[in-house]
Amino acid sequence: MKEIYVNAYTKKDGTHVKEHIRRIDGTIGSFAPVEKDTDWGIIKELPEEDNKFGIMYANGGGGFSGDVLTGGISMLDFDIPTTGTVIIDAALITAGVAIKLAPIALEMYNAVQTANAEALAKLKPQFNASVNQLETTQSIVKSKLDKKLEIINSTKDPQEYSRLYNSLAPEYDAYQKSMNSINKMKFAAENDNYEVVMNELDNYQNLQNNIIKTQPTTPANQSLTAKNINYTSYQNPYTQSPITQNQSPFPGANPSSGVSASFPEKVTSFDKTLKYAFQHIPIEKASTTNLKNALNNFDLARKDEQVILLNSLQDIKNQQIYNLMKNLGVPETSKGLVYSCDSKISQEIAKSNTLKKYIINNYNKLRNGNIGLDQIEFGTIYDPDLHLAFQHVTLLNPQIDNAGTFSTYIIDYYDFNYRDMPDSIIGKFKTYINNWGYKMQENDLLENYFILLYIKFEVNQI
């Protein structure tokens, strides 16, 4: 047990907290690395900034501990309801209302110009109703933000408090700007100055669009549930069609969709020959390793000290990762591989051009820990091997700490969806091979599994 000295501080609601000694038991709210001596060598649980999910890494023992993913630190910020989405949701709603309001405002402007009092009188109730709708939405936003502020104020950890408070400040700012804009519109409408109304409406729309664009999809202090993952904007890499809220972003999570009645077909000797060939392909790349693991009952993974084989999703004791995987569509019974940051594949990803580009483009967000969940796509030209191995992957909690170390968890699910035959010759060929994978999968000759990679490296290496 460790003790730390906490300075006196004043909460937002005015409560004064005296200076005190806080005891840390190494689990909840701990920031200190905990060392455990095991058969695998000294196992360290990473400091919270590095490891929010309790995954341990071995120091000198060669690879992961057998009891990896054992729950670890219960993150306080995951218990706090979403803050970032309140303002985004409101922006999405009000942007829609503002779009409808724009033609009304234009008609009213024309009515004023042509001195058409009758038309103006007809349009005024519609206009007022829309403005009221905007005001109501903003008042809901205000009440939700206030509620979250109350919860944040009850946070006892000063570090957490300041982080959460800082994340809420821009939302209050956005709310305030939106309200100012609505008030200006109302005032201008009362004075029949619809030119100002239209200009202000334009400003308001820009403001809401900027909120939607600039806010991260899932801020760091957001609970990791299905609601927070924007499924609607996710493009299924296999079908290239947007998938709906009820569907998983992982292609194989809905194997029944689009499957013809004749599937799965029987496996022929040609299929088995192909399987044998791929099982013994003498290339050690991420793409071939993934395929070999799927075909060889994880033989490669079992031999690799940097990889842990999990028998089911339930082996992940950490609730946050477990829930996220489940929400992403990984079946409960699916086996999985956990790669340490020293594994070949993790190193390959760490050196990939796509990840470097992502870090450069999102450096400030990563430093602030603003990104909870994100997705990247490995390109065919820059990272052909990773494109073949993963294509799209989900990044969980990517961040750069004060020491300049980038860390993230990468989640993917290895499986195949059935595809209907297209007309083009190349398309037919692609589909045939894809369906070969599906056929093998359905006949239990190719195993689906989830992949959890831990990536950690110094950013100045880029």
| Chain positions contacting other proteins, by CB under 8 A | 237-238, 240, 274, 277-278, 281-285, 287-288, 291, 380, 384, 387-389, 391, 416, 419, 426, 429-434, 436-437
Distance, CA of 301 to CA of 442 (rounded, Å)? 22
- Six-digit token pair at 250? 């992982």
Output the smallest distance, CB 368 to other proteins, in A. Answer: 33
Q: Which is nearer to other proteins, 140 or 274 (CB)?
A: 274
Strand partners, 309: 337
CB of 390 to other proteins, least distance (A): 8
> Is residue 50 within 8 Å of 192, Cβ to Cβ?
no
Q: Which of residues 335 and 419 has its CB atom nearest to other proteins in the complex?
A: 419
In angstroms, the CA 160 to CA 253 distance is 36
Q: What span, in angstroms and rounded, lies between the C-alpha atoms of 310 and 298?
A: 11
CB of 381 to other proteins, least distance (A): 8
CB of 374 to other proteins, least distance (A): 20
Residue 339 or 436: which CB sits closer to other proteins? 436
- If the CB atoms of residues 240 and 460 are measured against other proteins, the closer one turns out to be 240
C-alpha distances (whole Å) from 412 to each of 26, 163, 215, 326, 342 are 31, 29, 25, 12, 18
Q: What is the 8-class DSSP label of residue 315?
A: G
State in angstroms the smallest separation of the CB of 107 from other proteins.
46
The whole-angstrom separation of Cα 216 and Cα 167 is 11
Quote the DSSP letter at residue 235. B
CA angle, residues 170, 175, 177, in degrees to nearest 5: 95
408: helix, strand or coil: strand
Cα(258)–Cα(261) distance, integer angstroms: 9
Question: What are the beta bridge partners of residue 450?
Answer: 336, 413
C-alpha torsion 222→224→226→231, nearest 10:
70
We find the least distance from the C-beta atom of residue 434 to other proteins, in angstroms, to be 5
Q: Could you say which DSSP state residue 266 is in?
A: P
What is the Cβ-side half-sphere exposure of residue 208, based on CA atoms within 13 angstroms? 25
Dihedral sign, CA of 273, 277, 278, 280? positive
Tokens 């820059």, located at residue = 382
The span from the CA of 262 to the CA of 256, in Å, is: 12
User: For residues 6 and 388, which CB has a smaller minimum distance to other proteins in the complex?
Assistant: 388
Considering the complex, state which of residue 9 and residue 429 has its C-beta at the smaller distance from other proteins: 429
Minimum CB separation of residue 284 from other proteins in Å reads 6
Q: Which CB sits closer to other proteins, 135 or 265?
A: 265
The residue among 317 and 351 lying less far from other proteins, judged by its C-beta, is 351
Dihedral (C-alpha) 337, 340, 344, 350: value to the nearest 10 degrees?
110
Q: Are 148 and 80 in contact (CB under 8 A)?
A: yes
For residues 214 and 424, which CB has a smaller minimum distance to other proteins in the complex? 424
Cβ at position 359, least distance to other proteins in Å: 23
Q: How far is the CB of 286 from other proteins (least distance, A)?
A: 10
> At closest approach, how far in Å is the CB of 111 from other proteins?
52
DSSP, res 135: H
Cβ 244 to other proteins shortest distance, Å: 20
Q: How far apart are CA 286 and CA 387, in angstroms?
A: 9
Nearest Cα to 326, choosing from 337, 312, 340?
312
Nearest CB to other proteins, comparing residues 61 and 379: 379
For the chain, helix (H) and strand (E) counts, in that order, are: 13, 13
d(CA 107, CA 229): 39
CB nearer other proteins, residue 187 or residue 429: 429
Nearer to other proteins, 247 or 287 (CB): 287
In whole angstroms, how close is the CB of 431 to other proteins at the nearest point? 7
d(CA 104, CA 109): 9
